[in-house]
Amino acid sequence: MKHTNIIPTLTLENPQEHEITLGLSSCLAGHNVRFNGGHTQSKLCLNTLSEHFNYMTFCPEVAAGFSTPRPTMRLQEDENKAVKLSYSTDPDSDVTQQLVDGYTPALNSFDQLDGYILMKNSPSCGLSRIKVYQENGMPKREMSQGLFAAALQETYPLMPIEEEGRLNDAHLYENFILRVYAHHNFRKEVLEQQSLNNLMHFHASYKYILLSQNQVLYKQLGQLLAHANKDQIGTLVDEYFTMFMKALSRPAPRKGHVNTLFHVFGYFKRQLSKSAKQSILRTIRQYQAGQLPLVTPLTLLQHYIEQFGNDYLRQQRYFAPYPQTLGLANHV
């Protein structure tokens, strides 16, 4: 694992150990940048995901010149109902612009990232559910995003971004990693060498993933490519990428996987013995009932694809959307 720490002068050194680089809140990397002078080191990020990703670490509050340790800060509603960043002990203070001026120069440095993991509950880095306090000192019912998290998402709307705490949910974790690899593959295979042929090939490899994730957008993406104009490849690629990442934006529903598994089974069921068919159908139905993890029917189908499948089935990333060593399909 290699870490690159963006400092306020934006001096970057990032020797590559892995192909994919993620942004990471510095406190999650074990850097002592929190308001109390400590960190919130993430075992998941440093012990597991570091086997697959490089990290570009960044703390917007340190980049903005706030001291470590420093007084706690929170999002505060001002007299015009606008949200500002204030010191918790001084609601009339306003350090919003200092934070914005600190993180804005760094935003352009994230264009080669394929995902970002943020610290939860932070008025700068929290992705969701951040309290906004009213003038009376009580939090509003409506919650917000941290200021840096909002700017990051606005600048890179298609980048997979998640809070580290939410990755404890197996389905959110699996979906985040799926999106990271999809984002990376699209950048390398389509964006860097834009052609209709490359886009078609990419789409073909992700068809079963799209089918399992979102059948409506699966059909819309197919229609988009059916009417593709190679002379407008730039517009086509942008439109496809937006719809593609939207299709992957939420964990696939169980019924989506079941439909896809049956779809795959249909390709070679006539070549199977009666007992093999019954075994596959029983396994899919057990997954459907929540009695088996996804990896079980996937592994069984892969076995028969190797025997009876074709090149179209073998190229499907549905069976290996990320390294199997992560073991994500064992828990969904």
What does the pLDDT look like over 224-256, one tens digit per residue?
999 998 889 999 999 999 999 999 999 999 999
Nearest partner of 44 among 184, 220, 153, 162, judged by Cα = 162
pLDDT at 132: 94
**Domain map of the chain by residue range?**
3-168, 169-332
Residues shown for the chain: 332
pLDDT at 79: 79
DSSP labels, 254-308: HHHHHHHHHHHHHHHGGGS-HHHHHHHHHHHHHHHTTSS-THHHHHHHHHHHHHH
CA trace torsion 209, 212, 217, 222 (10° rounding): 60
Question: Which residues share a beta bridge with 312?
Answer: none
DSSP labels, 129-163: -B-EE-TTSPBPSS-B--HHHHHHHHH-TTS-EEE
Q: Find where tokens 């984002």 sit.
A: 183
Question: Which residues share a beta bridge with 83?
Answer: 77
- Residues with pLDDT less than 70, the chain: 1-16
pLDDT at 185: 98
What does the pLDDT look like over 30-89, one tens digit per residue?
999 998 888 899 999 999 999 999 999 999 999 999 999 999 999 999 878 889 999 999
